[in-house]
Structure 1
Amino acid sequence: MSEKLEMGTRRFGRWNWLGTKTLAEREIRRFLNVWAQTLAAPLVTAGLFLLIFALAVGPQRGDVMGVPFVTFVAPGLLMMTVIQNAFANTSSSIVSAKVQGNIVDTLMPPLSPLELVMGYVTGGIARGLFVAVSIALGMLLFLGISVAHPIWLLVFAIVGSAVMAGLGIIAAVFARKFDQMAAITNFIITPLAFLSGTFYSLETIPPVLATLIHWNPMFYMIDGARYGVLGVSDSDPRLGLVICLVTAAFVLSVCWRWFKSGYRIKS
């Protein structure tokens, strides 16, 4: 006869590795099943952006930070696409489950709030990295842009994806229906992404606006990715990494707190 567990003792130990792994695999399989929408579409969109800039702006615009304008824009587009997809992965999964009423299937298994956060965030990071690799290969094949500092690019892609996956959890928990989720994406996430230095250097904009952009964590994600690809950046990548890590810690702690309290999920 198996030994009886004391009240409050977890059957799976301090960390339910199997449950966390299963949740992460579910999130990864979810976006792989619709790869044309989740992986191919971002690659096509980034390619169209680069094509438009190359045709409309590239010939007239001089070098930016010592590199051609299209080359300067490419790493920013890569990172912007990565973080947007990390956000979309967690936000769409949770808000869909809430609206369809099957969020209970995620809450009932023996997963702690931290394990839930890690499972969802791992799926968001995985989608971000899939997109990063595909766009990086496209830049290499069609633009001849190689990665100057691959470790820096990988670190910023992972940390940036973690931040945005966490923000996706927060937005989805807060939203009660799809139009609220769309409002958060259109009026908060997209403007912050476009106002993050993706298409310009801070040297070319008014000092007041540049100061405001420094308060946008997405700026440091974009700038860090640019340093990873090109070896040039507007700010010190070490400072950017610290800011991104602090932001990730804050965002994920909010996710943990909301899962623990059941805020707008269990009620």
Structure 2
Amino acid sequence: MTFQQACYALLTLLRKEVGRCFRIWPQTVAAPVVTTTLYFFIFGKVIGSHIADQHGFPYIQYIVPGLILMATLINAYVNTSSSFFGAKFAGSIEELLVSPMPATLIVFGYAMGGVFRGALVGCMVALVAICVTHVHFVHPVLVVYSMLVTAFVFALVGIINGVFARKFDDVSWVPNFIISPLTYFAGVFYSVQMLPPFWQAASHLDPIYYLVSAFRFSMLGVKDATTSYALAVSTVLAIGAFILTTQLLIRSKRMRS
């Protein structure tokens, strides 16, 4: 496959994923934005008014980075897991697997579709946050990088789940029983420094903790983990997840059963 053909193939796959996102926009975009907006009002305005400042910020501003990132990663995951498994369930994924399109390009195309949806929802939630909380971005470049890396990681996780899933229920249990608990345990609604020593150490084993810490530093300039370490972990997660996903697509028997 020539470079030009690879570009056409990638753009075609990406256009399909983006078109799917906009075709069902009330479900893919509007619903998560409304849900996260409710978090702002309930946890920020109602409950947050009775909670002391966190690291010098009002509670509603402190939780903004975590809520934006939570919306980003969940939607990146849901987009790829549902789209990839849907193609696998319908049998259309076989057309890609037998085409000259390499596995790396297939994975990257699906992942970029997830990144698009995750980043789109994250940006819309950020706009709501700016209007509601008047929060400012301290490091805008790091904000963009952290959001895109997080979306990329969880878009790949969605593809991995799509590879192993045998029925639609297999797609939904991962966010309910793995992603959501890890997200809440990562310090979205609180500083991990508030936890007892044992639970602080346990939080350091949570990969989402480093994603949240890097994004919070990017927005507010405060952190739980060392910023350089958190950014390094985020980058390694993205590279490792991409390699793993590509190898699974090539070697997994689930793709040929």
Return the TM-score normalized by structure 2: 0.95
Q: Which residue of 1 aligns with 2:164?
A: 174
Q: Which residue of 2 aligns with 1:88?
A: 78
CA distance in 1, matches of 2:166, 2:25: 27
- 1:61-210 alignment to 2 at 5 Å? 61-210=51-200
Q: Which residue of 2 aligns with 1:255?
A: 245
Query: CA offsets per residue over residues 98-118 of structure 1, 9 Å max, x none?
Result: 223322233233210101111
More helix by share: 2
Q: Which residue of 1 aligns with 2:232?
A: 242
Q: Which residue of 1 aligns with 2:21?
A: 31
Aligned residue pair count: 257
CA distance in 1, matches of 2:180, 2:50: 27
The answer to whether the Cα contact below 8 Å between 2:43 and 2:60 also exists between their aligned partners in 1 is yes
How many Å apart are 1:214 and its aligned residue? 1.1
The answer to whether the Cα contact below 8 Å between 1:167 and 1:251 also exists between their aligned partners in 2 is yes
The answer to whether the Cα contact below 8 Å between 2:61 and 2:135 also exists between their aligned partners in 1 is yes
Q: Which residue of 2 aligns with 1:18?
A: 8
- 2:64 aligned partner, one-letter code: A
How many Å apart are 1:253 and its aligned residue? 0.8
Share of identical aligned residues, percent? 33
How many Å apart are 1:263 and its aligned residue? 3.2
The answer to whether the Cα contact below 8 Å between 2:72 and 2:147 also exists between their aligned partners in 1 is yes
How many Å apart are 1:258 and its aligned residue? 1.1
CA distance in 2, matches of 1:140, 1:192: 26
CA distance in 2, matches of 1:204, 1:193: 16
Extract unaligned runs of 5+ from structure 1: 1-9
The answer to whether the Cα contact below 8 Å between 2:187 and 2:209 also exists between their aligned partners in 1 is yes
- 1:232 aligned partner, one-letter code: V
Quickly say closer, same or farther: Cα 1:177–1:223, change in 2 above 3 A. same
Query: CA offsets per residue over residues 169-218 of structure 1, 9 Å max, x none?
Result: 11111111011122222111221122111011011111111111111111
How many Å apart are 1:237 and its aligned residue? 1.8
Extract unaligned runs of 5+ from structure 2: none
Query: CA offsets per residue over residues 43-101 of structure 1, 9 Å max, x none?
Result: 11111011111344212110011101111011110001101111111101011122233
CA distance in 2, matches of 1:89, 1:124: 5
Root-mean-square deviation over aligned CA pairs: 1.5
CA distance in 2, matches of 1:218, 1:182: 19
The answer to whether the Cα contact below 8 Å between 1:19 and 1:110 also exists between their aligned partners in 2 is no
- 1:183 aligned partner, one-letter code: W
The answer to whether the Cα contact below 8 Å between 1:173 and 1:263 also exists between their aligned partners in 2 is no
